[in-house]
Structure 1
């Protein structure tokens, strides 16, 4: 009798979910209110301004109630006290200043036509409020600036809350099993790699745990002048944010902690399957590495031979820094040549996705994630393609 009652209950829940899917959210985008983790403050897990962290959560439904995607949002870094203060005052960083809602779209869309593989999953978007890519952990707080560098604690507090919310035990509901993804865009891409194995360890009984890095694979180039941009950023994470303790000892025992921030070094210490989606000419990477105005000649189609030479040399270094192609099951990639940055929202739809030989990043990732086909795709163009140009490369 109890088994029959549970079965009927599950059918009822799933039927309601189908009604929700078909009637309430026909559009690909929708707003989700924020959840503030007030209890995280007692653990020292706070934003730059001392306010509690926040995330946006939309429960899954139907066959997706046991599946989760958790995205760490990006937004650059603050590399000194002045920048961090500006981040609070001008960028409204801190849960009390964040907008009450966030637009879910792209891979978070609930439209089964445009997002067939993930439309009904549990979806979490973690707000970025520490300025140190979720890696900082400094106990001391300067009473003059009142700046807190606690990004690593924020990650732990959010994971703890999500586990209690069903991330860990969802498989016990109606016999659905947990299928989680940890994803990150831009500055959220590095902590996605950093915490990928840890995320998997939190879910020891799940059959499939994988990670997705979107436009966050910022490489360490050989030219010292070009390398200085990201070196400065990552040095600040070590000194200002106290991020060294977050780095894997398997890496820091072999090289300078600074080098462990670069993904070509970090990914070697990750055992969990990882998918990298990025442009070989990522907008933020080329502006930081090659020239702050590097994108202009591309968009205006006025690049000189000297500029094209710099682009080709950078592309060669970038491709060499990617994981090797001999095991795409463990390391999948989708590398296009269009100048852009981040794809999980706007560019994760059929009408906006960039194509390589008629294959899109959303399709490549979904195939790879569900073990349908292990893609390792690199666009053949050795020069950047303007954003405005046809997306089919």
Structure 2
């Protein structure tokens, strides 16, 4: 196993080779799922005026400290009204006010509607049922955000919450990291496309759709080039097309067989091969290289190997290219529900189900028939990582977990 590159070293080589793509200015709606590449400042105080936090009555708090005498309602203040139009509240009066509406001059608290009652026979008079303290149920101008405050920073992921912040700041366009263009080639004479009934000796190509889905989920613009036969001229022609993009991902043809032509074809096209074997299970015969700024991932043909190599290495590279400050998120810790054994020498990345118990992840490694067991990819939401020098872990022992993009959905 001396010639096998440790996973951590291989990942470091991949990330060092991955260029950060040029930034793009996009519509705010199109920034969702991308990494921000500029500071977002508040363009005004928020709230912009003293406002009510509840439906009720704007009052002078001291007016309710001496006694709970009736108060005459001098105006009704809906949300959205111009504060300049408001009448002052003075002792003995109150303003009926809605949530989010501006506080009128003179008022320094809001008596919530539940703590008031009408006075029979006079709809414009209310009787307080309790006193209030100054500042009750209102927010002062700038209590949440001050004008000029930095609300979002470069490197932050744009999710729904960030989209709301952009809208609140009036930002309809924003600078984000670029989206990688990624090409996919499945190799092998034995492959037919999913819509074709396999003839004897043939199998359906599951790796092409698998990689396209993984790339799309990771944020790349994926382009499927098709199945390449085990013939070097045709393979090189298809590779040359794929090398026009930022990333080329191939499945199959990277092992030691006489028809495993990927490494030789890549070298003929000027791809500089960084490594061809990694101490990982599954996925040992993994080829990585580059030509110019284009990254090349040669994944093993078995579906689980392809899946693991993409999740561990290609996803991290894509995140870096898009401007993520944490391209390879640190594993989290879980607790094994059942023992696991392996042959030392390669780090095991096992399909697993990780369920949050309230205090930790409970981890069940999924049964599998091997790296060709494509169904196992649909059952896990994490990869349980067993170090290369560990032969066995017992039930109840801690285990490292790489949570997958869709772990919350499974």
Does the alignment reach a TM-score above 0.5? no
Q: Which has the larger helix fraction? A: 1
Q: Which has the larger strand fraction? A: 2
Which of the pair has more CA radius of gyration?
A: 2
TM-score by length of 1: 0.22
